[in-house]
Amino acid sequence: MQLTPDTPIGLPSLNLSADEKATVVDLVCKAARAARSNVKPGTLEVPINIIVRKAMRTVKRTLGLTNLQIRGEHELEDMAKNDASLLGRIDISLQFLHQFGNEDAYVAIECKRVAAGKSDLNTKYVTEGVSRFINGKYSSGHEWGFMLGYVLALPVLEVTTAVDKRVRADYGESAKLSSVACHPEALAMLGGSLKQANGHVIRLAHIFVDMLPAA
């Protein structure tokens, strides 16, 4: 996939061009598909993240993407406090060339397990995932953030319906999620906008991938 120059409004290093956003989606979906064969029944979220990150690096090399770097679990420091405080740890983060040199510029991908019939997992997707983009912990001032849902039980429609219902309950009807064009390797994709604690509006892409352990 070729990336084309873009001149987004605002602070360029915090924004993504349409091609860059498409590259993130393509990379994540292809890596998740490749990683699935290595996920065993009962595998927890952190080990899945490690498997997916490794697969992303392999897919990146296969696609010949030299204009971005994939980072592991990324710690965000609280620069407002002169101590060891952390805002949080992003599961997967990327940086495109135009973001190099700016520690505050990155592409955040927060990962959560979800499943039909598992209200606890689907609730945590919002309360421990989406919420981190809203309260200023992740991607403050960024144009885009990404949520990656590891689907452990179908149907995916039950999952996306539960997630949308919780998002609207927590953030109002304006936060309603809408279906968007789905990548061939994803089960479903949704999009929505939410206001961060500082008043900035961030767009979140929700990607749901098949992570049922292979038979």
Residue 94: which residues within 8 A CB-CB, separation 6 or more?
A: 24, 27, 68, 69, 70, 71, 106, 107, 109
Res 5: pLDDT? 38
Residue 7 reports pLDDT greater than 90: no
pLDDT tens-digit map of 125-183: 999 999 999 987 899 999 999 999 999 999 999 999 999 999 999 999 999 999 999 99
pLDDT at residue 2 in the model: 38
Tell which residue, 129, 195, 140, has the closest CA to residue 166.
129
pLDDT surpassing 90 at residue 193: yes
Q: Is 77 helix (H, G, I), strand (E, B) or coil?
A: strand
From the list 103, 122, 100, the residue with the least C-alpha distance to 113 is 122
Question: Count of CB atoms within 10 A of residue 169's CB?
Answer: 11
- pLDDT tier for residue 74 given thresholds of 50, 70 and 90: low
Q: Give the residue-averaged pLDDT of 183-194.
A: 98
pLDDT at 32 over 90: yes
What pLDDT, on a 0 to 100 scale, did the predictor assign at position 77? 52
Q: What is the pTM of this model?
A: 0.89
If you compute the radius of gyration of the chain from its CA atoms, what whole number of angstroms results?
16
Mean per-residue pLDDT, 116-123: 98
C-alpha span between 108 and 129 (Å, rounded): 11
Percent of the chain with pLDDT over 70: 86
To the nearest whole number, what is the mean pLDDT of the chain?
89
Long-range contacts of 73-81 (CB under 8 A, 24+ apart): 73/49, 74/106, 74/108, 76/137, 76/138
Return the pLDDT at 213: 80
Query: CA–CA separation, 175 vs 125, rounded Å?
Result: 15
80 falls in which pLDDT band (50, 70, 90)?
very low
Q: How many CB atoms lie within 10 A of CB 184?
A: 8
Residue 126 confidence (pLDDT): 98
Positive or negative CA dihedral for 136, 140, 144, 148?
negative
Q: Per residue in 45-65, pLDDT tens?
A: 999 999 999 999 999 999 999
Q: What are phi and psi of 140, to 5 degrees?
A: -65, 120
Please name which of 187, 175, 177 lies closest in space to residue 211, comparing C-alpha atoms.
187
